[in-house]
Structure 1
């Protein structure tokens, strides 16, 4: 990961005087008391994630996109469809060093907002895929205990790399915590085997991960961005694709000799950053030699970087000058274009291709851009473009308080008790993509290139069994006059025109708007505004169709996004009912937490979540006895655990 990593508790919302150390690909930089992690706003001195910078939307294109166009959908033997996709296509990548901020303190105290955020997607997609990893994974070590008793700490006595980043040490509590989350929300996990010492692989993470997570562990990354190892001083300058392939083989040998790893065939590689091409690795015989042990092929890519603003390295860029580049269909197309050969290759060898880490820009993203409504539209378009281009999944990265692009961010621990989580635009993108693909796991995506292929008005059709089910329509233009609102006239060749269609809108007033977006009328609010549950009443629009003319006319505002459900079945598949969520009825200085009965974790592998069954080892098996999910206040100054978390359902 070429991003900022948090070394210590970061600056709060202008309140903390703690120094902040952040790490990039080449340098370390420390900001003193009341320092700022961004040069974008000279008057702002808080954490980057809450930076108030707001950009100016690009002007209406000249010439403006046509505002009336037809979309003729085919049915039956449709050409150009993607491979079959799952609703869980869009997942998250969480930097290992911040897992105790995001997931929970340990297996007894889970972050309730995180549970809610995962439950929202689980209800739409059936499951959620989350990677715990990044640069800090390569040097992480599983230990029996840490000096301070925490589940995760930095081993500052072993700082060794060029940025003096201390390696991470952690206990099995981290993996137990992940199992507790999975039991409630059906999260499926990717982890990584440390790859910094290939003469003595530390395989404990695979041993304990498989033992505790069982079927919830779906992949083990082998090396994070190995094409950057020599640049970062972790390998000799001559290190190349053949060397990585050789080391991958050494890892396989070590795992197959370890009787505590029952399944050595979960490996994922090569996880490239872009210095090498994937073909450089395929040409070494990597896939042919290790096909049995490879569960997936993976790459990592960001569209650009903001490293100069953070570290003075690379090309100077500002969010304002880059904003227009994101508000166009060509952005996602450009990113995936270099992987089209690899996605075809992955199909020939029978392996899924994953975008294992991505977001708006490396080195933390751009203030005002990465946290804007425009980024939400971009995330939808980019996600569906990857699905259309035959990726099988994409993980959008979550950093600490020092980045602008987080899908979700917990408040720092020194904040007052009323501060809650901040939900970023990329999380809205995840909800939308989950609903667009649905929970049938039969979806195939088609880039329609509507409106004459206009780059500001992209659209996709989602098919199941050869029949169109949903249409996703984007309008990147910001035009408060309404003159750039467009109407798409949707028809189905060889199929009957429905009497009406249902439409959900992702809405904001401008592509530059920050927070308070609405998805089908519901929002996650402003900064410090969410416990992970959408707020407000659901608003699903009913659009009558002209059955005589055989068209359904759907209006998309400028800016805006519309998801059109062509049948009632399409709507029910994407939104099957009320979401099981977890009300936060108590607040603490450590944010909201939930406790989980440890006995449950011993038998919780493989089941779908709280609304189906818990703690059974067989599909559909109901656990004996009551499952207890308790919301507790951590002990402090002699206070004892208090509060009860009631499990409730969100009225949708």
Structure 2
């Protein structure tokens, strides 16, 4: 039986204001321009043996550049008609997330037990741009089998006795509860999803995820990945050594034919995402097979996957590769040319996508494959790097970038739920890359008209401008340098019109600025965005806490300049118009406070017959967070879903016994 119902906002609000929840109290505050920096000092990690997600390793920030960066940087903008080299118009949901399928039950739990912090984290993005996109897949999707049921009502199970490939990826079994879970999340947060067709067995393809995905998710399903990193299939032992781009072309054709003949798949056009290659095949070598022209009606998006580096040697010593020292490569993430060099491999392909009327997605990325690097992937430097990387891709005409979420053993997670052996008063851990997503949403805004241009003149201080309908609306200013003396703080002098533009002076009398701040690029946790934070390890329920701080900078209209300081390190988003700020500053927000506890307090008793498929923390044993070693670098709700909606509206996670 499936149930649908609605809840009034007044009812939701009445329950929210009476909810109990824990709030992080900032410590050791440092003040810059009125915003609090919550800095956790260096921590010794020599004897640390816990999960990578909470690794306390703190690196030494790279030295101040010599010669030093310019401290006065002019930023000249046109007042109308745009500026040369603008990107295509970008959607506000550009920065999304990729969740490894094998750990999706950690992040999202089940259709009857929604993780409230996850709802809040998605809602933060949605309230700024209207939607958020999430992929559930990865290596573990490739042999995932949809089954009618699993023991004890489990949603997902891993066969750890039959792992394959260098990542020791376990075969998966999952039930439709995973899809109902996703539909329930969408109904609350307007999250849209990508899934993947299992590609390890092609004779025939298993299309249960396509059939049920379309039925259950409806319009919330954006598309389905046809193969995850097929260029690595041969090296990982999933195809013969002779497997080529033309073999992949043929398999996609077989998949399309099978979908065409399947009466249980109503939507057959514009559903597939190809080829999602990593680095062993160039995208051009796949385009040369004619895959896009031959299968254009079936393809909704073109995609690639790319990490700038990998930590596979440390995670898998059997590979026989040299282990990299994170300290030695930290600087690679703190210069703009790291992003521009990486994106150069794709500029032909983004142009190809535009010519063929297809979107072009970075389907999986993060700081480094094989779970990232300690001290880098979970540092403030990673927040700046991910934001710069995302803006570089947007400028280069990618249409989306999905940053990967692994398990407890990943350093790079945008967000991590607490381990299952922890009490629920231990909250979620929000990583630096989530702050990047939050900021990127505000950079692009909700109008889907933002065009990005790169104005960088120094690799340590990337600069971007955003235009909407031909007029400048925002400027994004980075400072990758760590310098406690203040000598490396620079001032961006922004001018609109005037100068050599041939246009009249158009600089406003004032601008508003939001800062993303931390004490150092090596700092861990408690970063602030416009004065607000998501705390440190185990401290977040997904909601920003602290007083919002938007700095007003008075401009010199006679000189046609606005002088905006950018601390070292830091990021400043300059709103050139009041409308551009108000568009990403909702007047009210409905969020979902966490009230669950481990025993009887603040829990809800539900008739056992309603909890036939309910369970709490389960199916999370043997979690692995690795993702690509060996690389070079209005939905139907089932009865339990209705329960989840009710629980979320109450601002509670339902905690119940497992009824046997």
Range of TM-score over shorter length:
0.7 to 0.9
Partner of 2:120: 116
- TM-score, normalising length from structure 1? 0.85
Indicate the residue corresponding to 1:366 in structure 2.
Answer: 373
Q: Hey, what does 1:552 align to over in structure 2?
A: 562
Corresponding position of 2:297? 292
Equivalent residue in structure 1 for 2:198, among 194, 197, 203: 194
Instruction: Tell me the distance in 1 between the aligned counterparts of 2:241 and 2:230.
Output: 12
Equivalent residues in 2 for 1:319-398, closer than 5 Å: 319-398=326-405
TM alignment of 1:499-518, pairs within 5 A: 499-518=509-528
Inter-CA distance 593–537: structure 2 relative to 1 (3 Å threshold): farther
Q: Do the aligned residues in 2 keep the contact of 1:485 with 1:557 (CA within 8 Å)?
A: yes
1:399 alignment counterpart: 406
Residue in structure 2 matched with residue 310 of structure 1 by the alignment: 315
Counterpart Cα distance in 2 of 1:82 and 1:594: 50
> What SS does the corresponding residue of 1:281 show, helix, strand or coil?
helix
| 1: CA distance, partners of 2:355 / 2:55 | 46
Go from structure 1 to structure 2 and tell me whether the alpha carbon gap of 1:575 and 1:590 turns closer, same or farther (over 3 Å shift). farther
- C-alpha distance in structure 1 between counterparts of 2:235 and 2:659, whole Å: 50
**Structure 1 residues 467 and 110, CA gap change in structure 2 (3 angstroms):** same
Q: Secondary structure at the match of 2:153?
A: coil
My pick for the range that moved more, 484-493 or 142-151, is 142-151
Could you say if the C-alpha distance between residues 511 and 162 of structure 1 is closer, same or farther in structure 2, counting changes exceeding 3 Å?
closer
Question: Aligned-pair distance for 1:141?
Answer: 0.7
Q: Calculate the aligned-residue CA RMSD, in Å.
A: 2.5
* Aligned equivalent of 2:485, options 478, 481, 485: 481
Does 109-118 or 196-205 show the bigger shift? Answer: 196-205
In the alignment, the residues of structure 2 paired with residue 294 and residue 593 of structure 1 have an alpha-carbon distance, to the nearest angstrom, of 46
Q: How does 1:87-106 map to 2 (within 5 A)?
A: 87-104=92-109, 106=110
Q: Which residue number in structure 2 is paired with residue 418 of structure 1?
A: 425
TM norm structure 2: 0.84
Matches within 5 A, 1:442-591: 442-449=449-456, 453-493=457-497, 494=503, 496-588=506-598
Match of 2:280 among 263, 275, 282: 275
Give the stretch that moved more between structures: 494-503 or 541-550.
Answer: 494-503
Out of 242, 247, 261, the residue aligned to residue 257 of structure 1 is 261
Q: After the TM superposition, which of the residue ranges 163-172 and 145-154 deviates more from structure 2?
A: 163-172
Separation (CA, whole Å) in 2 of partners of 1:280 and 1:100: 36
Q: CA deviation at 1:575?
A: 2.2
- Which 5+ residue runs of structure 1 have no aligned equivalent? 1-39, 599-603, 608-613, 616-624, 640-652
Map Cα deviations across residues 388-413 of structure 1 (whole Å, 9 max, x no partner).
00000000000000010000000111
Q: Do residues 634 (structure 1) and 659 (structure 2) align?
A: no
Cα distance in 2 for residues equivalent to 1:485 and 1:169: 53
How far is 1:243 from its partner?
0.3
Deviation at 1:588, TM superposition (A): 3.2
Q: Is the 8 A contact 1:94 1:397 kept in 2?
A: yes
Q: Distance in 1 between matches of 2:70 and 2:600?
A: 51
Contact 2:114/2:648 (<8 A) preserved: no
- Could you tell which deviates more after superposition, 115-124 or 144-153? 144-153
Describe the SS at the equivalent of 2:152. coil
Aligned CA distance change for structure 1 residues 70 and 637 (closer, same or farther; 3 Å) = closer
Tell me how many residue pairs correspond in the alignment: 576
For 1:115 and 1:579, locate their aligned partners in 2 and report how far apart those are by CA, in whole Å. Answer: 13
Distance 2:353 2:604 in 1: 41
Cα distance 1:402–1:117, how it changes in 2: closer, same or farther (>3 A)?
same
